[in-house]
Structure 1
């Protein structure tokens, strides 16, 4: 088995998600957290 396996680190924050490998200085991917759907519709109804 390969001994050079890096752990994946995921920070699922409320505003931004960040992902990368353990030991790296910075995350490799950063993107906005978008989960769920709006409770109320804004604007006129169709």
Structure 2
């Protein structure tokens, strides 16, 4: 069983819900990293 499917199962989530939240979280982290790159670590 692939790792992401196993993680979803351990969390008791449907795989599609797990993937949706994973993608959303990755996007948020990337946006924050770009913001820090452009404006510095102290901008919110």
Q: TM-score higher than 0.5 here?
A: no
Give me the TM-score of the superposition, normalised by structure 1: 0.22
Question: Which structure carries more strand by proportion?
Answer: 1
Structure index of larger Rg: 1
Q: Which has the higher contact order (CA 8 A, sep 6+)?
A: 1
